[in-house]
Amino acid sequence: MKLQSIVTFMTASLASVIYTQACFVFTKGSYVHTLGAPGGGCFGTDPGDIITESSTDPPKGVLYTFYSDFNCQGALFSGTGSNKFDPGLKISSVRITCPDGT
């Protein structure tokens, strides 16, 4: 019975991780970073990061808004879906708005 509970928990966790991966964006500076979390939110970037692209398989209704300042202030532009962005654009934060349940 305990083993069944552990397997069920692990399976549910894995499914959750795979499902929420679609609400992420990728940045590239000295390192490649992935920004995002289940349900979305506001995420700061490292100095020198540029946006390379949004997730390649975003859920319907996801919105990415990029900002010139930290704490999601000074909006630069928004995008939806699997947009590709100006490779020279430097951002300080990004707000990811995900559909309910992601």
pLDDT tens-digit map of 37-88: 777 888 887 767 666 655 556 667 778 788 888 888 887 777 665 555 555 5
Residue 102 is assigned to a structural domain of this protein = no
Residue 5 confidence class, pLDDT cut points 50, 70, 90: very low
**Structural domain of residue 14, as residue ranges?**
2-97
50 in any annotated domain: yes
How many domains are there within the chain? Answer: 1
- The rounded distance, in Å, linking the Cα atoms of 101 and 30 is 33
Phi, psi dihedrals of residue 7, rounded to the nearest 5°: -60, -45
Is the pTM value of this prediction over 0.75? no
* In-domain check, residue 32: yes
Question: Is the residue at 22 inside a domain?
Answer: yes
Cβ(99)–Cβ(42) under 8 Å?
no
